[in-house]
Amino acid sequence: MRGRTDAGTRGGPARAARGMAGAAAVLLAAACLAIASPLAAQVPTPLSVLGFRVGADSMLASWRQIDGYLSRLAAASPRVRLDTLGSTTQGRPYLLVTISDPANLARREALMAAQRRLADPRTLDEAGEARLVQTQPAVVLISCSIHSTEIAASQMSLELVRRLATDSALGSALRDVVVLLVPSANPDGIDIVGDWYRRTRGTAYDGSSPPWLWHAYVGHDDNRDWFMLTQVETRLLTRVLYKQWFPEVVYDVHQMGGNGARLFLPPFADPVNPNLDGMIVEATNHVGTAMATALSDAGFTGVQHQSGFDLWWHGGNRTVPARHNMIGILSEAASARIASPVPVGPTDLRQPARGVNYPLPWTGSWWRLRDIVDYELTASEELVRLAARERAGFVRRFVRAGRRAVEAGRTASPRAYLIPPAQRDEGARAQLANLLLATGIEMFRARGPFAVEGRSYPAGTLVIPLAQPFRAHVKDLFERQVYPERRQYPGGPLLPPYDVTGWTLPLTMGVTVDSTRDAVAADLAPVDSVAVTPGRVEGTGNVVLLANRSNGEATAVWRALAAGASVAIAPSSFAASGRTWPSGTLVVRGARAVLDRAAAELGFFAVAVPRLPELAGAPTLRRVPRVGVYRSWNASMDEGWTRWVLERLGVPYTSLADSAVRAGGLRARYDVIVLPSESPAQIRNGRPAGSVPAEYAGGLGASGVEALRAFLQDGGTVVSLDQASLFAIGDLGAPATSVGGGRVARGASGTSRFSAPGSIFAAIVDRADPLASGMDSVAAIFLEASPLLDAGPGGRAVVSFPREGNPLLSGFVQGAELMAGRAALVDAPVGRGDAILFGFSPQHRGQTNGTFKLLTNAILYGAARAASAGGPPAR
Ligand SMILES: [Zn+2]
């Protein structure tokens, strides 16, 4: 069962027919045994298959058990179809359960085609719309446990499917509703968390979180990936959403902390993103309050609305659909300790005050996995019943919102976005276009040159007209966010944003995108995918000069090193092949064929010359650098993203656990050690003793800090990212100072403290510095709780903020005046080694292609410096 990579189907109409025949036999037996429902008799219960009741204390179904049970249901019930969409990062089957009336399942392809037309009203005439409003079921998608410690929903899903398969009232509702159920949006995490839970169950660590990410790379940030689509799991479900089913409602089932309200449901909190259709916001409120009403009717209490979850941020499992005219619902249940019950006594419980957003305070004293299952089950079933009751309204609203988006795109500015060809980073250009296409955005390629608003564009320019139904999605990705400052009261403390405040992709990815107020008149061909335009190495000879403009060139350099080439970073400008090459040019000797292939594949241009004198003073690499990436037991997402970006760029590395650092002797094994962003206390202290088994407790500790100091003294390079730079300064003695760094705490006071809670800024790059190889003189950089830096004695500021004006490009900043002239990237020599301090996230969530290069430069340059510093002295 594991490791299946095909998109396979189990159950469905063929089995449904057999199931119906079987049902007749069971019906006879049921009559004798007085069993209420003939369907219930043939559809196994979770208890009969798992051996325990869903939500039983301390019991969790593994992914194999979930798959096995759903397979049994699909085989037994004509209402249930089970598809494997593909294979997860770790090779588990990614499952989608489709549950509806058998007649609907039999015409599934036709229903999907009709959803596509509803999603794009330009394809519907009045009669066609009227017919679909009469006949088309509403489609709702329920996604469970994308966050794997929030595991109840994955268990609940088993009981939900059985209820939908057997309950007669729900069966009637399913004539008007198609339910798409994702039992987990991160199947790997169900086992990562489940295995850890079973390992620690009944020990002192019962109910603790695992000391590693519950996804190979991204952990909790798997719900930050829904426009960037870096991970395979995101891509699999995105295809269902915007290529196949176009559901009217997407319900994302989560959990939160355990001490407050029992369940959050919409209405969401302010602010509302300006690109969201108010009609969809109203409908979201409506669905949330219908769920809450069903819960209170059934005797549940403790449901809260309008707490911290807002409608501003883009990138989540519910927020990207909301920009596709879909109703995005979130529920957040109070958590148990994974599957272990928790007492919630009056002193632990911090309920909100009773009010319109919390009308029924909770009165319990224990909280169990089964409680979460019951709340989520009730909310899910109400969604199905509501979608059936109001089917026509859901269908009509979806069409209307699409029409409104198309109309707005015809009349409001901008009318279109333009992505010209021949950009600095061809790979980023193609990636940006493809992630838009994958999320259902309509795009065209100009067959010939054209002009708009007095600007000329060549053939090959990509054109995205905004008169399209998913306009809000692309507009919100391309425009600059202006986050409305919100304070508890005028002049009072800031209300912290829910997540990042700015995400403008052309800025983070370093891709030029123009907008136009005029409609584009050009000969346009529709595009369904964008390939990288091949580049090439021009000229003859085995010395290749790389301007290092693209990330493809960074990848090529690592391939060349692996093939035995040497790489030098030009310390100043020089002449070759009839032109002047700037400082930072990469000179690669001895891997022409490798670079020819890489240029064609990755889309960059380079120049070869037969010979070039050695460049005096050039940092040079003659072998593949040995790179370590520190991996704490805090399960750092930034660490995961760092690995993901390095792997994507082809930079080999070794992960370094606390014990490997503490063991010392690092310089003999590594040239560069990367410290992903974590606070100094997290790095030093790790998880407290007693909270996890001893081998995962304690962080680097004094011996680890000492080992890193020795690594620097011995000529190694430490590259610290974001908050880890505070550790490099405070604990490793990197000569630099810092201001700020950390989140805007809820209720934090003060108006001058610097805080950039996920925002994009313009920064000035010292292009003469080897660390800036290939960069432009101004870069858009992403700060999230990042510190501002000042270079100390002997250090250099490589990237810094302008001395005047507010450098904010997108999102929100507090205390911008503190940024003036401060550094965001500092090269700080320590002993014979070097600390390269980032005061921003060069690899933020895999989205910042425009600054990946600063990270690869730091590793390349750091390793070359380490090579020239020599190895460790004999001791
Ligand atoms: Zn969550």
- For 179, list phi and psi in degrees, rounded to 5: -100, 125
Consecutive H or E run containing 458:
none
Range 169-191 average pLDDT: 98
State both tokens at 367. 């909280």
Distance 253 CA to ligand 1 centre (A): 8
Share the mean pLDDT of the chain: 93
Distance 604 CA to ligand 1 centre (A): 40
Q: Are 740 and 818 in contact (CB under 8 A)?
A: yes
Range 85-94 average pLDDT: 98
Query: Any idea which residue has 């949006």 for tokens?
Result: 185
Residue 9's pLDDT is what? 62
User: Could you report how far apart the first and last alpha carbons of the chain are, in Å?
Assistant: 54
Q: Are 776 and 577 in contact (CB under 8 A)?
A: no
Residue 697's pLDDT is what? 96
Q: Which of 242-246, 455-459, 530-534, 737-741 has the lowest mean pLDDT?
A: 737-741
Residue 11's pLDDT is what? 53
Residue 872's pLDDT is what? 60
Rounded Cα distance, 471 and 802, in Å: 34
Residue 16 carries which DSSP code?
H
Distance 49 CA to ligand 1 centre (A): 28
Nearest to 843, CA basis, from 678, 641, 648, 650: 641
DSSP assignment string, 671-704: SEEEE-S--HHHHHHBBPBTTB-GGGBS-SHHHH
Distance 254 CA to ligand 1 centre (A): 4
Residue 785 CB contacts under 8 Å (≥ 6 apart), including other chains? 722, 723, 741, 742, 743, 755, 756, 757
Rounded Cα distance, 696 and 680, in Å: 17
Distance 220 CA to ligand 1 centre (A): 7
Count Cα neighbours of 228 within 13 Å in the Cβ-side half-sphere. Answer: 27
Distance 418 CA to ligand 1 centre (A): 36
Range 243-263 average pLDDT: 97
Give 43-46's long-range contacts (Cβ < 8 A, gap of 24+): 43/73, 43/76, 43/77, 43/162, 43/165, 43/166, 44/69, 44/72, 44/73, 44/76, 45/162, 46/158, 46/159, 46/162
Condensed to tens digits (0 to 9), the pLDDT of residues 563-584 reads 999 999 999 999 998 999 999 9
Residue 498's pLDDT is what? 85
DSSP assignment string, 388-425: HHTHHHHHHHHHHHHHHHHHHHHHSSP-EEEE-SS-S-
Positive/negative CA dihedral, 419, 422, 425, 431: positive
pLDDT band at 10 (very low <50, low <70, confident <90, very high): low
Residue 688's pLDDT is what? 96
Distance 53 CA to ligand 1 centre (A): 24
Nearest to 649, CA basis, from 550, 571, 507: 550
Distance 145 CA to ligand 1 centre (A): 7
Rounded Cα distance, 373 and 371, in Å: 5
On whether the pTM is more than 0.85, the answer is yes
Which residue spans within 591-696 are E strands per DSSP? 605-609, 620-621, 627-630, 654-656, 672-675
Condensed to tens digits (0 to 9), the pLDDT of residues 290-312 reads 999 999 999 999 999 999 899 99
Range 249-268 average pLDDT: 97
Indicate the length of the chain as a whole number.
875
> Is the N-terminal amide bond of 102 cis, ω within 30° of 0?
no
Nearest to 333, CA basis, from 363, 378, 297, 290: 378
- The answer on pLDDT for 24 being more than 70 is no
Condensed to tens digits (0 to 9), the pLDDT of residues 399-415 reads 999 999 999 999 999 99
Residue 706's pLDDT is what? 98
Condensed to tens digits (0 to 9), the pLDDT of residues 826-850 reads 999 999 999 999 999 999 999 999 9
